[in-house]
Amino acid sequence: MIGKVIKYNLKNINTDLIIPARYLINSDKNFLAQHCMEDLDREFIKKVSEYNYSILVANSNFGCGSSREQAPLALKASGIKCIIAPSFARIFFRNSINIGLQIVELSNIDDIKIGDVLEIDLKIGIINNTTSLHHYTVKKQPVFLQEIISDGGLVNYTKKRLI
């Protein structure tokens, strides 16, 4: 995939910041997207659509806190296709895989700037920063997780094996 970066260089961006609990009374993903990240950045959804950002870069322990799948769902519905961080909280990690939202663990994000265009190829474990012309090597995902993502998420993965 190829996409433009929006970056928040903060550690521990938690699920309450990604989607505050006050909006969990409605599971509609487009409703959730309208409020995504608003307690961190009121302009988030506007910026993502105006500047066509699709890769979210953040610092370590992204998605800590609640098990709410509404967090990755809201990000995905807002237009984010991939999240890059040095580490992820584990429930957020599995929720993202399960809904087919790509997430990438990259230990050093300092070099990536807002607006950079990244070309990501996880099959070979390489990210090309086409703006700075730098390359980053990332850990390959275990085959099991790759299968879930390539099926488009756990629902399709399971359906295939149920029939």
Partner 1 sequence: MGLTITEKILRDHCQNKKAIAGDFIMADIDKCLANDITAPIAIDVFKKVTEDSKAEVFDSSRIILIPDHFTPNKDVASAAQCKILRDFATRHNITNYFEVGRGGIEHCLVPEQGLVKPGDVFIGADSHTCTYGALGAFATGVGSTDLGVAMALGKCWLKIPESIKFIYSGGLNEWVSGKDLILYTIGEIGVDGATYKAMEFTGDSIKSLPIEDRFTMCNMAIEAGGKSGIIEPDTITRSYLDSVKISNDSFYSSDKDAEYCDIIDFECANIEPQIALPHSPDNVKSISEVHGMKIELDQVVIGSCTNGRLTDLRNAAKILKNRKINKKLRCIIIPGTQNIYLKAMERGYIESFVNAGAIVSTPTCGPCLGGHMGVLAEGEKALSTTNRNFQGRMGHVNSEVFLSSPAVAAASAIKGYITSPENL
Q: Which residues bind partner 1 (CB under 8 A)?
A: 12, 14, 16-17, 20-22, 24-27, 39, 60-61, 64-70, 73, 87, 89-91, 94-95, 98-99, 142, 144, 148, 153-155, 158-159, 162-163
Beta pairing class for 126-129 and 102-105:
unpaired
Closest CB to partner 1 among residues 49, 158? 158
Exposed / middle / buried, residue 20 (Cβ in 10 Å: 0-12, 13-18, 19+): middle
CB of 148 to partner 1, least distance (A): 8
- Least Å distance, CB 158 to partner 1, is 5
Q: Which is nearer to partner 1, 34 or 131 (CB)?
A: 34
Cβ 92 vs Cβ 66: under 8 Å: no
Q: What is the smallest separation between the CB atom of 99 and partner 1, expressed in angstroms?
A: 6
Tokens 């990000």 belong to which residue?
A: 75
Q: Which is nearer to partner 1, 54 or 141 (CB)?
A: 141
Burial of 38-50, coded b for 16+ CB within 10 Å and e otherwise, reads: beeeeebbebbee
Q: Which of the 8 DSSP states describes residue 157?
A: H
> What is the Cα–Cα distance from 58 to 12, expressed in whole angstroms?
9
- Name the residue nearer to partner 1 (CB basis): 124 or 143: 143
Shortest CB 149 distance to partner 1, Å: 13
Q: Which helix (H) or strand (E) holds 4?
A: strand 2-8
Question: Closest approach of Cβ 116 to partner 1, in Å?
Answer: 26
Nearer to partner 1, 26 or 52 (CB): 26
